[in-house]
Amino acid sequence: MRVFYGKANDPDAAQYLVHGVSTRPSLSVGSLINPPLRTLFQQRLLERREGIYADRQQAPLGRSYNQAPGLPSGLDLYKTTFGKKTHRVFAGHIINPPKSREQVEKEAQDGRQLYVRTHNHFDVGEQINRKYNWSKYTKDSKFGIATPNYNDGRNVARSLRWLDQLQLQKAATLVSKRYEDFRARTQPQVGKVCDPIADTMNVPPNHTFGIMLSPDEFGAADLMHYTAPVDFLRGKDRERAVLSAVREHLKKANFHNFSSLLETFRHYDKKSNGSIGTRELLSVCRQFNLDLNPQLLDALLEYCDVDGNGQIDFMEFANFLNWKDKMPIKELEEDVLTKGNKRGPSAGEGGSGESLVKKEDLLPKEVGSSEKTPRTLTRPQTVPDRFYTSSSVISAVVGGPSAANYRTYGVPTVRTDLAAPCIKRISDMKNYGDESSSGGLINPSLYSLKGVHEKHFFMSRPKEEIASIFRNIGVEISEETFNDVWKLASMRHPRGQVCVETFRNVLDEIQAKKMGYY
């Protein structure tokens, strides 16, 4: 439920508020169905009260009354009738009227001409009088259309032609079947799909390409129990999820522990050479309780290194490991970054005289503001900017021009040309290249087959919920061991939060040490 911030702490008076006036019935249902008996005195008193009404005087309830006062004076009540007298007619007079044949024929002929005129109705064999004016015509007059007559003999020639010649002219033209098949295969036909390679696909209609994978017989408990130590999801999904979690952890740590981007970069730059290397990045991650393995550390460095020189400069550091919009650059920091001033005594000895950024790389945070922010860097494209389907490569017409160099229209599905926002909104449906690819949709992880996704493993949970999850999947550990594992897992997060993946990793490490893996 969304509550307006101005009404957050207001008392909830709506549920106790009643509108209108409380009505009280004057009579109950029982008193209407079974009214109480009145005494003789009460009955006389009620009749006296209601006797003042006109309807009560004229027509008292339950008594017969005289209706004569309402009728006109002088009206005989017993002999006067109202309405029109109905004449009785028998059905026999209608079916068999008491008339002679001549009278019936005369009555029928009186309205005959009018009926013929209105309904155009004639008797069988009756001659129709069309009222022609025959005075204009003679006995030699002709009616109708004259039959065409040609003196050149064309009608005679048509009658002398043989039947086989006429059928030959009306018959269909015979063509080669090879030519007709080629035309039907290469040229579009009305109402048919043009498929030039239909002959090469000699497979049954229900043929399925590829190998069908049978479902595995395991559950969530088997996945979490029998996973090897320090192993989690396989493939790019695990790398992207863990890499995103590490970047968010570093961004939060930098925002809460330092006041400016320059101070944050100097803390990372242990050698004061204007760039951050692998050892320096590993040292800072360990300070923030992030013990990264070498593969994940290399992946983090490769993600932030846009120019590919193996080092993270200030622009890459500000774009990928910080919330640069929340830590603007002021005028003094701008001078240090662009002019290359040496560090002061508060930052330690030594310094670099070279500038960390160019002046054109710093853009105003807002129009007319003195505060600056580094410009947004875009990572190199990891997907091609144009895709070719088989139909666009082979073209739709055999022998037609190639479509390889056709211009591509529209907006790409993966927006690698845009920088991914620090905090992605729910309404933002764009794919900035940091989401799962089609391979992840076609071959999902084993956990997703059971409705468990990566966000469920990295979601922070309370201690009781973690204990309930591992108890339900069959993990039997003592209370003392559980508290020790919880303590070690909470130390890996700056705020002491624990997720299922962190707790499972710590538990696997402890079990691996007991079994002699380490």
pLDDT at 230: 44
pLDDT(41) > 90: yes
3-state SS track over 384-410: CCCCCCHHHHHCCCCCCCCCCCCCCCC
pLDDT at 486: 92
pLDDT(401) > 70: no
Q: What is the pLDDT of residues 286-335, one digit of tens each?
A: 888 888 888 888 888 888 888 888 888 888 888 888 877 788 888 888 88
Q: Is the CB of residue 316 less than 8 Å from the CB of residue 306?
A: yes
Q: Is the CB of residue 321 less than 8 Å from the CB of residue 247?
A: yes
Residues 6+ apart with CB under 8 A from 149: none
pLDDT(199) > 70: no
pLDDT at 229: 42
> Residue 372: is it exposed, middle or buried by C-beta count within 10 angstroms (0-12/13-18/19+)?
buried
pLDDT(353) > 70: no
pLDDT(51) > 50: yes
Q: How long is the chain? A: 518
Amino acid, res. 111:
G
Q: What is the pLDDT of residues 135-160, one digit of tens each?
A: 888 888 888 888 888 888 888 887 88
Mean pLDDT of the chain: 77
pLDDT average, residue stretch 440-450: 70
Q: What is the pLDDT of residues 246-263, one digit of tens each?
A: 888 888 888 888 888 888
Residues 6+ apart with CB under 8 A from 218: 446
pLDDT(403) > 90: no
Where does the pLDDT of residue 351 fall: very low under 50, low under 70, confident under 90, or very high at 90 and above?
very low
Q: Is the CB of residue 382 less than 8 Å from the CB of residue 416?
A: yes
pLDDT average, residue stretch 340-361: 58
pLDDT(394) > 60: no
pLDDT average, residue stretch 278-287: 86
Dihedral over alpha carbons 282, 284, 285, 288 (to 10 degrees): 160
